[in-house]
Amino acid sequence: MTDPAAESTPVPAITFASLGLSAETLRVLQQKGFEEPTPIQAKTIPAVLTGNRDIIAQAQTGTGKTAAFGLPIVEKIEEGCRSVQALVLAPTRELAVQVAEEIHSLIGSRRLSVMPVYGGQSLELQLRGLHKGVDIVVGTPGRVMDHLRRGSLKLDQIKFLVLDEADEMLNMGFLEDVREIMEQTNKEKRTLLFSATMPPEIQAIAKQHMGEHDVLRVMQASLTASNTEQIYFEVSNYNKFEALCRIIDIEEEFYGLVFCRTKIDVDAVASHLIERGYEADALHGEIAQNQRERILDRLKKGTINILVATDVAARGIDINNLTHVINFSLPQGAESYIHRIGRTGRAGKTGIAITFVTPAEYRKLQFIRHVTKTDIRKETLPKVKDVINAKKRRIKANIAETVTSGVEASYLEMAEELIALHSPAELAAALLQQAFPNELSTDSYPEIEQGMVDREGRTRLLVSFGREEGATPRRLGEYLMGRCRMPAHKITDIQICDHHSFVTVPFRDAETLLSNGDRRDNGPTFKKATPAADAKKSPAPRKKFGNKG
**CA-CA distance, 462 to 172, in Å (whole number)?**
9
The pLDDT of residue 520 is: 45
Whether the predicted pLDDT of 169 surpasses 80: yes
Rounded to the nearest integer, the mean pLDDT of the chain is: 82
% of the chain with per-residue pLDDT over 70: 85
Q: Which residues are 230's β-sheet partners?
A: 353
DSSP H/E element including 175: helix 175-183
311 found inside a domain = yes
On whether the CB atoms of residues 387 and 444 are closer than 8 A, the answer is no
Of 414, 442, 470, the residue at which a domain comes to its end is 442
Residue pair 426/359 in contact by the 8 Å Cβ criterion: no
pLDDT of residue 453: 42
The one-character DSSP state at 320 is S
Contact (CB, 8 A) for 168 and 462: no
The beta-strand segments (E) located in 75-135 are 86-89, 114-117
Contacts of 98 (CB under 8 A, 6+ apart): 66, 360
- Report the domain count for the chain: 4
Judgement on whether residues 482 and 399 belong to the same structural domain of the protein: no
Question: Are 116 and 15 contained in the same domain?
Answer: yes
Among the listed ranges 62-66, 153-157, 446-450, which one has the minimum average pLDDT value?
Answer: 446-450
Output 5 or 416, whichever has higher pLDDT: 416
> Given this model, what pLDDT does residue 526 score?
81
The CATH number given to whatever domain includes residue 11 is: 3.40.50.300
Beta strands in 387-478 (DSSP E): 458-463
pLDDT of residue 543: 46
CB 512 within 8 A of CB 484: yes
Residue predicted with more confidence, 374 or 193: 193
Q: Which helix (H) or strand (E) holds 57?
A: strand 54-58
pLDDT at 517 over 60: no
Q: What is the pTM of this model?
A: 0.57
Distance of alpha carbon 512 from alpha carbon 508, whole angstroms: 7
Residue 160 lies in a domain: yes
pLDDT for 348 equals 57
* Shared-domain flag, residues 247 and 393: no
| Domain residue limits at 137 | 4-217
CA dihedral 396, 401, 402, 406 (to 10 degrees): 140
SS3 annotation, 527-545: EECCCHHHCCCCCCCCCCC
Domain shared by 373 and 395, yes or no: no
pLDDT band at 441 (very low <50, low <70, confident <90, very high): confident
CA–CA separation, 118 vs 145, rounded Å? 10
Q: pLDDT tens, 314-331?
A: 876 767 788 999 999 988
Q: Which of 1-5, 171-175, 508-512 has the lowest mean pLDDT?
A: 1-5
| Distance, CA of 90 to CA of 192 (rounded, Å) | 12
Shared domain for 97 and 185, answered yes or no, is yes
Examine the domain organization and report whether 389 and 500 are in the same domain.
no
| pLDDT for 533 | 38
Q: At residue 463, does pLDDT exceed 50?
A: yes
Residue finishing a domain among 182, 217, 252: 217
